[in-house]
Amino acid sequence: MRRQPSGAGVPPLATMRPELLLLCAAVASAAYIVPGAPISELARRRLPSPTCDVIEDIAAAAIDDEEKEMINSIAGPRAAGYGEMLPQGMRALIARTRLGRNDTFVDVGSGTGKLVLQAAADSGVARSVGVELSPTRHALAQQALDERIAQGADYASRVAFICGDAIADPAALEAIGSSTVIFCNNLLLGDETQAKLAQLLEEAPSLRAVVTSQPFAYPGLQGFALGEQTLACAMSWQVPLRQWEPMPPGYPCAVYERRKE
């Protein structure tokens, strides 16, 4: 069945303006507005430390214009934008998908690798793989893995990072094809990329659960049921900008589970 453009016959969540969501924390610091800029001591005093940590992480993942153009040309005109799930959000994902030692977890668009490392450390998965198109962000993920290997982390041997296009790179295709649980922050991916990714996921024989930050466009994921209840996962663009404000419960992610035959 032919896939329709995003927004056609899909829930309101799929039609939200994701670029606005990813920038909602911008006023917190110039380091978010201008990636790579240092956070001033004044900002550190005014903001709660978790907010500063998240902003620093986003700034560290900044890429140059040439790399942005490359990513946008492959994955969609806004695909180079960056935001990430926070540790508490990943814990919610682990619980909802019952991620465990018999699983292979794949993060499509893994950025600097935090979720991939957390999946291996917290859930004991057999294999945890990150696929990232940005060479800069991939290098940061590999650096984090190398540090854990040097520290003797036992889970590090079950982690791998792949730099390439998730829908074209042979190593990425192998990882997706052997996965059991996948996460993809697809808010900024282009329609064509999302349609091709959805087809890959439908064809992955062992894949049992998929979590995305917005539902796939109609007809969704064939062979999978979209959960009526979304999964609240804390994201980097949700950090409170004032010390007295509590952390929001999480961004409503879509959860797909393979239908039982």
Give the pLDDT of residue 232. Answer: 95
> What's residue 245's pLDDT?
73
Domain around 192: 1-261
The Cβ-side half-sphere exposure at 116, using a 13 Å CA radius, reads 31
Both structure tokens of 139: 């290098």
Cβ atoms of 108 and 134 closer than 8 Å: no
Question: Tell me, what CATH number does 159's domain have?
Answer: 3.40.50.150
Contacting residues for 32 by C-beta, under 8 A, at least 6 apart: 23, 25, 26, 55, 58, 59
Q: Identify whether 219 is preceded by a cis peptide bond (ω within 30 of 0).
A: yes
Quickly count: other Cβ atoms within 10 Å of residue 91's Cβ. 16
Q: What is the pLDDT of residue 38?
A: 34
CA within 13 Å, CB half, 59: 20
Predicted confidence at residue 252, as pLDDT, reads: 95
Tokens 């619980």 label which residue? Answer: 95
Number of domains in the chain: 1
Alpha carbons 102 and 124: distance in angstroms, whole number: 9
Q: Given this model, what pLDDT does residue 244 score?
A: 67
- Between CA 180 and CA 257 the distance in angstroms is 10
User: Which pLDDT belongs to residue 2?
Assistant: 41
The crossing angle, in degrees rounded to 10, of helices 170-177 and 191-203 is 50
Q: How far apart are CA 126 and CA 123, in angstroms?
A: 9
pTM (two decimals): 0.81
- Give the integer Cα–Cα distance in Å for 259 and 88: 28
Query: Over the chain (261 residues), what is each successive 10-residue block's mean pLDDT?
Result: 42 40 36 30 39 68 94 96 94 97 98 97 97 97 97 97 98 98 96 97 98 95 96 88 72 96 72
